[in-house]
């Protein structure tokens, strides 16, 4: 939790992208009004969570997050947000919450094809392959990648995340009960409009596509617009 809110109307649980830690959503959290309290997930292997063993798959990872959310399942309604690999985690987390109590009011996803679409990712066998992928994504500062200690840490978590993300696949009829919003950027190399619309088949409720200019990490440059789209769907 970045900014505790005394009486929020909603809590937004954010699931980071491949290689990222919970702090990736810190600027986004600061952009929300006091009506929304933002919680960001820390995956295993990051600072503060290094002792926790890696998850076998995204379903197991989502189950762990579900258990950690117990203190926040009472009170204001939850919504879930996930970007890139985090979109798959968010989908599985939403399903876990719907099964186990505290069902989210809405799922927000971006940067990833639907759960039933394979990613077709090429094998990343060497450290250089992983570094090239991170540089292509643009989600990590080149200066940080040049620091040996940071490079070792980010390679470890990226390799783990890449395995989880590349092997994730669900049947076409697997759905969530809540509405889904897909936040699509115009020049995302990993998902186009057709792929984004395929998420419509994974909800039993309504679906909305919100479109923005930008690349895979468009929301870092268009934070205000991104937040406004979320607030519109939360009606706050």
pLDDT in the model for residue 203: 98
Q: What is the rounded distance in angstroms from the CA atom of residue 172 to the CA atom of residue 132? A: 32
The model's pLDDT over 96-144, given as tens digits with 9 standing for 90+, comes to 999 987 899 999 999 999 999 977 666 566 777 777 766 666 656 667 6
| Known active-site residue 84 | yes
Distance CA 25, CA 139 (A): 12
What tokens does 101 get? 């109590």
How many other β-carbons are positioned within 10 Å of the β-carbon of residue 38? 23
Please enumerate in sequence order all residues whose Cβ is within 8 A of that of 180, keeping only pairs 6 or more positions apart, or say none. Answer: 106, 107, 108, 109, 199, 200, 202, 203, 205, 206, 207, 208
Q: What is the pLDDT of residues 163-175, one digit of tens each?
A: 888 889 999 999 9
Local mean pLDDT, 10-residue blocks, the chain (236 residues): 79 92 91 94 74 85 94 91 97 96 93 89 66 66 68 76 89 97 95 97 98 94 96 89
C-alpha–C-alpha distance, residues 95 and 98, integer Å: 5
* pLDDT of 140: 65
Going by C-alpha positions, the residue among 109, 115, 114, 79 that lies closest to residue 17 is 109
Pseudo-torsion of CA 218, 4, 50, 151, nearest 10°?
30
Record the pTM: 0.89
d(CA 159, CA 157): 5
Catalytic residue (one of 21, 40, 84, 185): 84
């Amino acid at each position: 939790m970045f900014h505790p809110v005394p009486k929020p109307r909603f809590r937004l649980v954010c699931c980071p992208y491949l290689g990222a830690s919970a702090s990736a959503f810190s600027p986004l959290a600061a952009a929300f009004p006091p009506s929304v309290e933002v919680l960001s997930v820390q995956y295993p292997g990051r600072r503060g969570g290094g002792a926790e063993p890696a998850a076998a798959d995204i379903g197991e990872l989502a189950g762990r997050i579900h258990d950690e959310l117990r203190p926040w399942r009472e009170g204001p309604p939850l919504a879930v947000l996930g970007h890139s690999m985090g979109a798959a985690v968010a989908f599985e987390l939403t399903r876990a919450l719907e099964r186990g109590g505290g069902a989210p009011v809405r799922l927000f996803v971006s940067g990833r094809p639907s759960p039933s679409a394979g990613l077709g990712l090429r094998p990343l066998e060497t450290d250089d392959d992983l570094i090239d992928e991170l540089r292509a994504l643009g989600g990590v500062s080149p200066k940080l990648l040049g620091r040996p200690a940071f490079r070792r840490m980010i390679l470890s978590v990226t390799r783990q995340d890449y395995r989880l993300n590349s092997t994730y696949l669900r049947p076409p009829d697997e759905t969530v009960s809540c509405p889904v919003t897909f936040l699509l950027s115009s020049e995302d190399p990993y998902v186009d409009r057709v792929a984004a619309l395929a998420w419509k088949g994974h909800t039993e409720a309504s679906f909305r596509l919100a479109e923005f200019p930008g690349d895979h990490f468009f929301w870092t440059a268009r934070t205000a617009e991104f937040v406004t789209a979320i607030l519109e769907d939360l009606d706050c």
